[in-house]
Copies of this chain bind each other. A is one copy, B any other.
């Protein structure tokens, strides 16, 4: 029998080679039901391998049902082992990652300075967690996340953001996106209304809509959501706001509007969802207090470590009013059981040992410098034909150009010039209000890159 070949140069063990070739021949019908295989002794001799090798291959095929042994009469191919081959579709989706143009200056917002991630501190703590922690760490955990992290986080948030919460109200999430998804699952059913700022991150619109929300956009101005425009005669599922730093327009919601929102939520018995994504980087004065602290029973607070540390960690959190905790934990459980434990514990140590606040302090100075530099470049090149909005906080601001329409055509022309900017229109619900506005992120750009980017922008615009 020469139809089985052994290739001794392969990594694959000989047992596996014999098993594999016989299996394919049976599935394809090349040897069919009722066919009697050579004895193990015979095949071993023909292939020049030990009899145990053939024996094990046969046993595996017997165990899987391909073969059956008939007492005293040998080993046969079993019934029902033929499978018609269907040509496999050779199309494979390409990776989404676009080809990198290394000369491209990308003003994408919300990216922290990736080269300044505290690698060594993080790496040392990660190692320490893996080696030193009690071994129960490596088992399943509870959906709300590690108590060590929730405890230091509750204290940190109270101190720095005026957030009023017990560790029990926190659910550690796999990034803020998951927190948004959990909120949608918690609060939405078909055709319910969500009152939302316009413009607002388009991914957030997509998430809420995918859970059945009908979005009621409220225009923003320099001070965030214009609460006077909220209609009084509806009952929304919730109000979604970014009060510390409106995305993308950058306003900070004044106390009067915050109070109006809370009174409205109390009247209509709905929740307020506060998304606080980068307000640690406030360049004028200390961070603004959270809206959550004004009424912890009405407000769901979402936070993230993507901007203050790294988006690659996928670490965010959700603070729930007591009435929502149990269902929130259950929804988290059925999403992914819990967020990875080792990383949670590494972060808990990182906060507890003071590294987080030192890192934020350091980065704030760097980001302020980058912001100032970018503003300077813009004013140098464009003078009073531009206006800058929302630059008091965070890793981006908005630039409004006189009489420039950032159409798809223009954006692709800019792309060809080697500069990528992001139109506010990408995030608007009501269109054509912001067609001359772009978002410029500066968190992950060095001065020379920003300078080059703005020069490219100018040369391509005019």
**Which A residues form the contact surface with B (CB < 8 A)?**
12, 15-16, 19-20, 23, 27, 56, 59-60, 63-66, 78-84, 86, 88-89, 91-97, 111-112, 114-115, 117, 119-120, 122-124, 126-131, 135-144, 147, 159, 162, 166, 168-169, 173-175, 177-178, 181, 203, 206-207, 210, 252, 254-257, 259-260, 262-263, 266, 284-286, 288-289, 294-297, 306, 310-315, 321-323, 325-326, 329, 334-343, 444
Contacts and interface: CB of A to CB of B under 8 A. Distances in A.
B96 A114 contact: no
A170 B16 CA distance: 25
- Identify whether the interface residues of A are mostly helix, strand, loop, or mixed: helix
* Count of identical protomers in the assembly: 2
A342 B325 contact: no
Contacts of A178: 335-336
Given A65-B256, A166-B92, A312-B341, A119 B131 contact: yes
Given A63-B285, A97-B142, A126-B126, 9 more contacts: A60-B286, A79-B256, A92-B166, A93-B325, A117-B135, A139-B444, A140-B312, A177-B334, A336-B336
A86 B255 contact: no
Contacts of A254: 64-65
A390 to B, nearest CB: 14
A335 B121 CA distance: 29
Given A63-B285, A256-B78, A130 B136 contact: no
27 contacts: A12-B159, A15-B286, A64-B254, A80-B255, A80-B259, A81-B259, A82-B259, A83-B262, A86-B266, A86-B295, A93-B168, A95-B142, A95-B144, A114-B137, A114-B138, A115-B135, A119-B131, A122-B130, A124-B127, A126-B127, A140-B306, A140-B311, A140-B312, A141-B312, A174-B174, A203-B334, A313-B341
Given A78-B256, A80-B259, A255-B65, A140 B111 contact: yes
Nearest to A294: B83
Closest 8 CB pairs of A and B: A65-B254, A123-B130, A80-B256, A312-B341, A123-B127, A174-B336, A93-B325, A138-B310
B312 A340 contact: yes
Nearest to A184: B334
A369 to B, nearest CB: 19
A285 B178 CA distance: 42
Contacts of A341: 312-314
Nearest to A147: B95
A255 B127 contact: no
A180 to B, nearest CB: 9
Nearest to A150: B95
A63 B392 CA distance: 11
A114 B136 contact: yes
Contacts of A130: 119-120, 122-123, 126
A297 B88 contact: yes
B340 A60 contact: no
Nearest to A67: B255
A97 B120 CA distance: 34
B310 A89 contact: no
A180 B314 CA distance: 20
Nearest to A137: B312
A130 B286 CA distance: 31
Contacts of A79: 256
Nearest to A162: B20
A173 to B, nearest CB: 8
B139 A114 contact: yes
Contacts of A256: 65, 78-81
Nearest to A179: B336
B326 A93 contact: yes
B289 A64 contact: yes
Contacts of A144: 95-96
A297 B207 contact: no
